[in-house]
A and B are shown apart, each in its own frame.
Chain A
């Protein structure tokens, strides 16, 4: 087994990925609205919301895959690592949920207003 999969960073890695997505999304949306704001009459169907949706889904899927990986590892890992893996699984799952919750709510809003 690759020891990296049991590294203690997985205690918090899910939320670190979420935080990077969060900063990139907030900052990116601000910059995009400054440079190339979509026309308001396009409503929610515009290039910016589409890009944001795609990025959100990529991050969501990535976090879910990590959660599944940690869940699988639980079966084969030594007992002393079980606690860390349980926490890591839940952290990845929660951060995936957090990404989806914020991300999907945002694509329902007309940007740059």
Chain B
């Protein structure tokens, strides 16, 4: 027993956060995810208060409680806060908390990235909220349509706050997407093949990949609009070859998948909770996996249904109308699977189940009005009315918030070690359920009666008066329900009954970590042979805690996880992850300073801060791999009874992280390519010049030197793979020299090009393309330069081949985008 205690104490010493202010350097997933969820809750309260102000203004006709200018800021900020600062981050936080525990590991695979993501979210959110308190908040609606959000019609800094702040927050979302994807694919417990993975993990995998692909179009759109506002590049100005509809395409390319990014994790909560309370496995696991994959893809093919009224061709309307109906099929599969699970199980009506039933009722209603809106003639009638507002609140509150609260009650004993109270919980549910329906069911009617959304007031006698009054009354009932819910949760920390082990008799591994969990989740890592480990082996918790499973040695002082095969779950390596670090906080602080300097148009300051932030990032990269602070080579490591450390292989998580990041990067690049092709072929004044403003000869030289650099790098990788690597510093120096030549030529091309970036959108798009290439080439060259020194210091060698394998795809990507850009942006217009 004493030995066991001492082992737990040793694990705690390695895994616990620093005390006091040192908590700010925490990278542990349990701490970071709790911060995500707490911060998300604060933003939810703020967003809720804004909603109450809106409803108060609309309670009676011709009211003047709020000025039109402030009202515009309120509805813009309500949407922005709820979508970007509450829904996505809180679900990511929940996923970050649960995923490692469910897949039987100790942490997420890139903990410092988790911490950076959190601080970017926090600082980005604070920056955006500051605008509201200063009275200069964005006021063009949460989807920021141009030209309303452009400099001409939104001259103040409101739009800039939105564009820069949201981009900052999106760094957080994409980093969480990368992190969750790689963690789910590479760190599951040994034996946990994809077919044995908890269904929640499938949902989160799909959500994470959708973030990876779905957020970059909006990041690009935000960059383009900010460049238009700050530097006069006319991407959305038809007079100069731009097109405001391009913004709508890019926004909804993100915006529609966003709805599913929010819905999928919530559906994952439902698919986790219903089987537990039905006391049987989920009906149709395979069908649900199929539905998740289908939704992940089809939801990207619906974005134009938000644009049915902008004047797009009839054929495109038919195209997206049918695709919009198609997505109802996988949704229906899930609903039927949930009903079948309830039907065939022995249902226990505990508190979380109330929220599940609320979800089923409200979400099905919202789904049905969604199918109505997919019908083009109906959409034309109700577009931009309160009917649409009612529809998406049914989908988002029913489809996301109800499951989230159900999940909160379900995992509350896990978070706090105490049970929620049934009595107050029921009151909270019924107040919210009744209040919600009173608020939004009425809005369907006001919408059908013609009330437009976003109007500050309305005339009396249009038939909207009593409906609006009832909506406002309902919203106050709902708000009191949320107050009750929060009180219940706060009180339970003190007065809730102590939770016993696995209080709901769940099947998934997170309940084997203890309630509340330790910082390392599992003292030993089990092998998982079934989809329901705790149902099949109820003693798993004690055997894990007794150290009866793998990776139980901690004397080395490293934080270690198992690395397994993405498909089969076969054990292949031990992954060592970083401990607490100040670098994420410091980097995020500099990025926040960058954001503020851009907002204040202090561009030289911004440039200096960018350099400092880049130094932080490269320092972060430096203390990795075999660095003495991480996992230096030791003489006895071959004698360990565990697989090799990942930094001694060429297939570690960093490689996977790089590839997933490049998928996101590729999505951004394809969005740019789409934007440029759109401006060329569809924009009313779109045209390309007869002569290229960029030197084709110099670009060719730049491309050839880049190709040589990549070939040299490829040779290094081949040598490392064959075990015949030698003189690595010299090899990297060769790559660096050719890479630097390429970069110098590219800089020369950019400086000497005769692009009229403020006169026409085409040249502005070419400029952005050149910046994109410069950004990637600079990183590749600097990283390879650092590798010269790392090879000299012995951090890269035949025994340590990991880092070149990680950078290799980046070089290939840089080469790929260069030649695609050369062909599409420069050659194609000349030969068309």
Contact = CB atoms under 8 A, between A and B. Distances in A.
Given A19-B300, A84-B567, A113-B314, A91 B293 contact: yes
Contact of B297 (A12, A29, A83, A90): A12
A23 to B, nearest CB: 9
Contact of B319 (A25, A95, A98): A25
B593 interface: no
A94 interface: yes
B322 A102 contact: yes
B195 A83 contact: yes
B113 interface: no
A83 B681 CA distance: 45
A29 B329 CA distance: 26
B340 interface: no
A110 B195 CA distance: 45
A26 B307 CA distance: 15
Chain A interface, >50% SS class: helix
Interface in B219-259: none
A91 B290 contact: yes
Contact of B322 (A31, A33, A105): A105
A87 B289 contact: yes
Contact of B294 (A34, A94, A109): A94
A87 B682 CA distance: 39
Contacts of A87: 286, 289-290, 293
Interface in A91-110: 91, 94-95, 98, 101-102, 105-106, 109-110
B193 A83 contact: yes
A7 to B, nearest CB: 9
B316 interface: yes
Contacts of A16: 297
A82 to B, nearest CB: 8
Contacts of B316: 26, 29-30
Interface residues of A, number: 34
A33 B290 contact: no
Nearest to A27: B677
A15 B323 contact: no
Contact of B286 (A15, A83, A102): A83
Contacts of A80: 193, 568
B547 interface: no
B326 A101 contact: yes
Contacts of A95: 297
Given A15-B293, A105-B322, A109-B318, A8 B567 contact: yes
B202 to A, nearest CB: 10
B657 to A, nearest CB: 18
A80 B192 CA distance: 12
Contacts of B296: 15
B290 A94 contact: yes
Contacts of B329: 94
B450 interface: no
A33 B315 CA distance: 10
Given A84-B194, A84-B567, A105 B289 contact: no
A12 B316 CA distance: 25
Contacts of A26: 316, 319
Chain B CB within 10 Å — which of A15, A25, A33 has the most?
A15
A19 B297 contact: yes
A34 B682 CA distance: 9
- Which size class do B's interface residues fall under? 20 to 34
B297 A8 contact: no
Contact of B313 (A25, A91, A113): A113
A85 B800 CA distance: 37
Interface string A17-57: 01100100110011101100000000000000000000000
A77 B313 CA distance: 48
A91 B313 CA distance: 30
A112 interface: yes
Nearest to A104: B322
A98 to B, nearest CB: 6
B685 interface: no
B315 A106 contact: yes
B566 interface: yes
Contact of A101 (B294, B315, B322, B681): B322
Nearest to B323: A102
Contact of B315 (A22, A86, A109): A109
A66 interface: no
A91 B682 CA distance: 34
B297 A18 contact: yes
Contact of B326 (A8, A90, A102, A113): A102
Chain A CB within 10 Å — which of B287, B316, B682 has the most?
B316
B192 to A, nearest CB: 13
A110 B567 CA distance: 46
A8 B296 CA distance: 17
A105 B681 CA distance: 26
Contact of A19 (B193, B290, B301, B313): B301
Contact of A112 (B193, B194, B313, B322): B313
Contacts of B323: 22, 98, 102
A83 B196 CA distance: 10
B554 interface: no
B298 interface: yes
Contacts of A29: 315-316, 319
A33 B682 CA distance: 11
Contacts of B298: 15, 98
A87 B567 CA distance: 13
Contacts of B287: 90
B290 A15 contact: no
A89 B322 CA distance: 23
Contacts of B300: 19
Chain A CB within 10 Å — which of B287, B319, B568 has the most?
B319
Given A19-B300, A22-B301, A84-B567, A110 B293 contact: no
A11 interface: yes
Contacts of B297: 12, 15-16, 18-19, 95
B315 A111 contact: yes
A112 B318 CA distance: 12
B301 to A, nearest CB: 5
B564 to A, nearest CB: 14
Chain B CB within 10 Å — which of A16, A90, A112 has the most?
A90
A106 B296 CA distance: 23
A12 B293 contact: yes
Interface in B267-293: 286-287, 289-290, 293
A49 B194 CA distance: 42
B263 to A, nearest CB: 18
B217 to A, nearest CB: 13
Contacts of A11: 293
Interface in B172-197: 193-195
B19 to A, nearest CB: 44
A112 B315 contact: yes
Contacts of B194: 8, 83-84
Contacts of A31: 681
A18 B293 CA distance: 13
Interface in B540-574: 566-568
B319 A102 contact: yes
Contacts of A8: 194, 566-567
Contacts of A105: 318, 322
B557 to A, nearest CB: 36
Given A22-B323, A87-B289, A102-B323, 17 more contacts: A8-B194, A8-B567, A12-B293, A19-B300, A84-B567, A87-B290, A87-B293, A90-B286, A90-B290, A91-B293, A91-B294, A94-B329, A98-B298, A105-B318, A109-B314, A110-B314, A110-B315
24 contacts: A8-B566, A8-B567, A12-B293, A15-B298, A19-B297, A26-B316, A26-B319, A29-B315, A30-B316, A31-B681, A34-B681, A80-B193, A80-B568, A83-B193, A91-B290, A91-B293, A91-B294, A94-B329, A101-B326, A102-B319, A102-B322, A105-B318, A111-B313, A112-B313
- For the complex of A and B, list the 4 residue pairs with the smallest distance between their C-beta atoms, beginning with the closest: A83-B195, A15-B297, A105-B322, A113-B314
